[in-house]
Every structure is written in structure tokens, then in C-alpha cells.
Amino acid sequence: MRIMITLAMCLVMGATAYGGEEPRPRAWAVPMSMEGVPNLHRLDEGVYRSAQPSALGMKNLESWGIKTVINLRLFHSDTDEARGTGLRLVRVPMKTWAPDEIKVARFFSELMEPSNRPVLFHCWHGADRTGVMGALYRVVVQGWTKEEAIDEMVHGGYGFHPIWFHLPGWVRDMDVDVLKKEFTDGFIPLQRGVRSGSVL
């Protein structure tokens, strides 16, 4: 019950961050607010994304019910921040300037393991490497088109940096059929994805 109340409060607080702007498409990740976890969004009931959590953020994530934290940063582990928690830490170091398909496969192998969920994945800003993996999750697991996923990645309010202009093209070129066959056969998301403003 405590987790559900906290979740409801996070959803309300996060939604207010977009007040005064055009309505956020229902399909896009839900913005949330949690101390120590910047740029936090929910993709579905089992998958969350953010920027680098602090030590307090890691404790809050654990109390909130998160089981696994996947770190996409190249030179930084979460060992110090997560010390004293029971969180399962996974490192999938990725280069923003040169994403690696082998690392993508490792990411999905961890993300799609039911015992690891709920999962949060992050990089430093929660915008570019995190954005790429979020976009691929949308396409591979939730059935979005690549263009829908790229639109959210770039315009979803996560802070996408134009200097990484090659990332949308990298998502377009990714052979997602291989990932679908390898990681989603028989998998049913906890909450089905949304496309074009409608719940699937």
C-alpha cells in the first residue's frame, strides 16, 4: 500500500512539471518526482528511466520497490551510491558516440528477465544513452514504429543533446527483428504500450 501511495504522489508531482505546455502525449513516458533521482520517468509498470541517482536516490528507489538498476555509463559504477541497499546492480557501459549492438543485447537480457523487475536504467543525464535504450524498448517490446520512438526520444522532455545527432539514425538502422525474436517471444509487458494516443 505504501508503494502504491508513493507511486500516485510521484505521478501527480511529475505531471505538474509539464503544466503550461502542450499536453504530453499519452504514449510517452510518465514524468515522476523522487528525491535523488533526477529525470525520472515511467515507461510501464516494470520499467523506469532516469539520470544518475544519488545515494539518497538509491535508497528511495529500493524503498519504492525497484529491484534492479542498470547503469549505462562508461566510466562510473553505482557501487558507492547503492552501498547499504539490496539493489541488484548491472553495468552495461555504452559509448554515446558509438553504441554497441552487443551491449544492446546484454541490456535486453537483463531488462527482460522477470525476476529483475521492476527495473530502472540510467546514464548520466538520462537523455541520450538512456534515450536510445528507451526507444529500442518501445519498438522491440511495445510495438511502436521507429519514428514514434525517435520522436519521444528527441522531443519527450528528457534533455536530448543535439550534439548526438547520429543517435536517431542508429535507432533507425537497428535490426529490431533479431531482438524481438531473442527477447520477447511469449513476453507480455506488465502494462501494454501506447501508440498514437491510444492504449493498446
pLDDT in the model for residue 183: 87
43 within 8 A of 126, measured Cβ to Cβ? no
Label the pairing between strands 30-31 and 41-44: antiparallel
Residue 59 maps to a domain: yes
pLDDT in the model for residue 184: 79
Residue 5 maps to a domain: no
Between 176-183 and 129-140, two packed helices, what is the crossing angle to 10 degrees? 70
Beta-carbon contacts of residue 173 (< 8 Å; ≥ 6 apart): none
Distance CA 168, CA 149 (A): 9
Residue 87 maps to a domain: yes
Residue 139 maps to a domain: yes
Main-chain phi, psi angles of 89, to 5 degrees: -100, 130
CATH number at 121 reads 3.90.190.10
Least confident of 12-16, 41-45, 71-75, 190-194: 190-194
Distance CA 75, CA 94 (A): 9
Residue 72 maps to a domain: yes
Where residue 162 falls among pLDDT bands split at 50, 70, 90? very high
179 within 8 A of 104, measured Cβ to Cβ? yes
Q: What's the length of the chain?
A: 200
Residue 194 maps to a domain: no
Average pLDDT, whole number, for the chain? 85
Would you state the cell numbers that stand for residue 40, as one nine-digit string? 525520472
Bond from prior residue into 118 cis (ω within 30 degrees of 0): yes
Confidence (pTM): 0.81
140 within 8 A of 184, measured Cβ to Cβ? yes
Q: What is the DSSP string of 128-167?
A: SHHHHHHHHHHHHTT---HHHHHHHHHHSSS---GGGTTH
pLDDT in the model for residue 13: 44
Residue among 88, 93, 58 nearest 73 (CA):
93
Residue 9 maps to a domain: no
pLDDT in the model for residue 188: 45
Where residue 29 falls among pLDDT bands split at 50, 70, 90? very high
The total domain count for the chain is 1
Return the amino acid letter for 140.
V
Residue 118 maps to a domain: yes
Please name every residue paired with 68 in a beta bridge, in sequence order, or none if there are none. Answer: 88, 119
What domain range includes position 135? 30-185
141 pLDDT higher than 70? yes
